[in-house]
Amino acid sequence: MHEYSIVQALIALVEAEAAERGATKVHALRVGLGELAGVEPSLLSTAFETFRERTICAGADLNLRRIPAQWSCPRCALEILRGAPLQCSGCGGPARLVQGDELVLESIDLEVN
């Protein structure tokens, strides 16, 4: 389970952002999490609840914005149906991921004095 190491990286990132802006507390953070990011949302939330204590994120809410995978053909712009082979039904070329592999800190609600 790598969700703990991801949470550690997340908290370090939040701490750096907060320090840069002279914030004293974090109220909430929003994370964009793609379906294909390889991260289990519920495990990430549990890991965050465990690790946020005694950090600047203590008491902060983690809001996950889940992003479904979406594939399309870069040449024909045809969208690939969910679960279908990822080769374009038009030209046979490889599809490209449009969205769905994100693992991104999108925003933070910071308390500043």
Residue spans of beta strands (DSSP E) within 20-102: 23-34, 61-67, 70-72, 96-99
One-letter amino acid identity for 63? N
Task: Indicate the helix (H) or strand (E) that contains 107.
Answer: strand 103-112
Q: Which residues, including other chains, have CB under 8 Å from residue 15's CB and lie 6 or more apart?
A: 55, 56
Residue 104 lies near other proteins (rule: CB under 8 A): yes
- Could you tell me the smallest distance in angstroms from the CB atom of residue 100 to other proteins? 10
Strands 61-67 and 23-34: parallel
Residues numbered 21 to 60 that lie near other proteins (CB under 8 A) are 21, 24-25, 27, 31, 36-39
Where does this chain touch other proteins (CB under 8 A) — which range of 45-53, 57-65, 96-104? Answer: 96-104
Binding of residue 10 to other proteins (CB under 8 A): yes
Residues lying near other proteins in the complex (CB under 8 A): 1-2, 5-6, 9-10, 12-13, 17, 21, 24-25, 27, 31, 36-39, 71, 74, 83-87, 94-97, 101, 103-113
